[in-house]
Amino acid sequence: VLAWSTPSRAQAPRKKLVIGFAQTGAESEWRTANTESIKAAAKAAGHELKFSDAQQKQENQIKAIRSFISQKVDVIILAPLVTTGWDTVLREAKAAKIPVILESRNVVVKDPTTWTTFVGSDFVEEGRRAARWLVEHTKATQGDVNIVELQGTVGSDPAIDRKKGFEEVLKGHPRYKIIRSQTADFTRAKGKEVMEAFLKAEPGRIKVVYAHNDDMAIGAIQAIEESGLKPAKDVLVIGVDAVKGAFEAMMAGKMNVTVECNPLLGPQLMEAAAKAAAGEPLPRWIKSIEGVFPAEVAAKEFPNRKY
Ligand code: GYE
């Protein structure tokens, strides 16, 4: 580009950017909504988005980031599958002077200056909200409340923190017991499979299933039904995300509650990308504001849901 063809900074509107986006995969309804939101927001802002679906494999995300660096993109958006293992590649991005924005999951790295901001939810709080709902909803009951937990992807930020927040609240209530806890990788198919195994291993004992996302909760509902029990009655079903599938399950009387986690992060991410590319300062955390939806409000809220 010739120097004289470049408009001066003062006249130029927000620059059109080339953004590389390293997505985790398409493991859940939440993730699909997240991808669509980011693609739509990039398009609306006139940016070019290079999209990579890692199919739930960290090595694919690392490859994508390296390819974005060699293509000299303006900004990289990363939805890190797990928290660890990013030190080297994030240092490479920093050395190439490409800002990295984290979305929907956080990392643990030695050098925190290798990423600019995290756009996403407070997952510990989501776990606390799930437990608070359970304690409140079952306060009139007596005796042990045996819980099974379906964890998200091993080593992922939301799985670690949703477990942590849930346990933190239940610590003060000794009759609530997590009797089994296993990963089901945030997918429906694995949610069903793991719940089937739980039901076989603990016949008649399970009172509650706490799933780290709605997709696994929906898989668990299928397993509960196939075992001859009634979901939401014999076994209480708690999910996280508040996707449409959860509202449908609640309206059908098969699920009790979902804790909201907003996937529609595209607009906030584009704003952050523009600032990062212009070298403007960003907060370390751009936090989502969210609620809790029990089955009683599902039918009323359903028409307002955007994902
Ligand atoms: O809750 C789950 C997804 O990282 C917050 O990932 C996200 C989680 C979301 O697959 O459904």
Q: What is the pLDDT of residues 85-95, one digit of tens each?
A: 999 999 999 99
Strands (E), the chain: 18-23, 48-53, 75-78, 100-103, 117-120, 145-151, 176-183, 208-211, 236-241, 257-260, 285-287, 292-294
Ligand 1 centroid to Cα of residue 212, in Å, is 8
- Ligand 1 atom with the smallest distance to the CA of 263 is 5
Average pLDDT, stretch 273-285? Answer: 97
Ligand 1 pocket residue status of 105, Cβ below 6 Å? yes
Decide: 213 in ligand 1 pocket, CB within 6 A: yes
For 202-259, write each residue's pLDDT tens digit. Answer: 999 999 999 999 999 999 999 999 999 999 999 999 999 999 999 999 999 999 999 9
Cβ atoms within 10 A of the Cβ of 97, count?
9
Nearest ligand 1 atom to alpha carbon 215: 11
- 134-184 pLDDT, tens digit per residue, is 999 999 999 999 999 999 999 999 999 999 999 999 999 999 999 999 999
The pLDDT of residue 12 is 47
Distance, CA 26 to ligand 1 centroid (Å)?
10
Whether 303 shows a pLDDT value over 90: the answer reads yes
Contact 102, 270 (CB under 8 A): no
Distances in Å between the Cα of 23 and the Cα atoms of 53, 206, 293 are 5, 35, 27
In angstroms, what is the span from residue 204 Cα to ligand 1's centroid?
A: 30
Nearest ligand 1 atom to the CA of 104 is 4
Q: Tokens 């959860």 sit at which residue? A: 246
- Residue pair 192/166 in contact by the 8 Å Cβ criterion: no
| Strand pairing category for 48-53 and 18-23 | parallel
23 lines ligand 1 (CB under 6 A): no
Q: What is the mean pLDDT of the chain?
A: 95
Instruction: Enumerate residues 6+ apart whose C-beta is below 8 A from 255.
Output: 217, 218, 221, 231, 232, 237, 239, 246, 249, 295
**Cα separation, 223 vs 97, whole angstroms:** 49
Give residue 3's pLDDT band: very low, low, confident or very high (50, 70, 90): low
On whether the CB atoms of residues 151 and 183 are closer than 8 A, the answer is yes
Query: Are 238 and 130 within 8 A, CB to CB?
Result: yes
The SS3 of residue 77 is: strand
pLDDT confidence of residue 1: 47
Per-residue pLDDT at 4: 53
Please report, rounded to a whole number, the percentage of residues in the chain having pLDDT higher than 90. Answer: 95
Instruction: Judge whether 268 and 286 are in contact, CB under 8 Å.
Output: yes
Residue nearest to atom 10 of ligand 1 (CA): 28
CB of residue 126 inside a 6 A radius of ligand 1: no
Q: Is the CB of 29 under 6 A from ligand 1?
A: no
- Between the alpha carbon of residue 196 and those of residues 116, 189, 255, 291, the distances in Å are 42, 11, 17, 30
Q: Extract the runs of DSSP E, i.e. beta strands, from 54-206.
A: 75-78, 100-103, 117-120, 145-151, 176-183
pLDDT digits (tens, 9 = 90+) for 9-52: 544 457 899 999 999 999 999 999 999 999 999 999 999 999 99
Residue nearest to atom 6 of ligand 1 (CA): 31
The four Cα atoms 110, 83, 58, 67 give a dihedral, to 10 degrees, of -50
ipTM above 0.95 for this complex? yes
Q: Is there an atom of ligand 1 within 6 Å of 258 CB?
A: no
CA-29 nearest atom, ligand 1: 11
Do 161 and 124 touch, CB atoms closer than 8 A?
Answer: yes
- Atom 8 in ligand 1: which residue has the minimum CA distance? 158
Predicted confidence (pLDDT) at residue 2 exceeds the cutoff of 80: no
157 lines ligand 1 (CB under 6 A): no
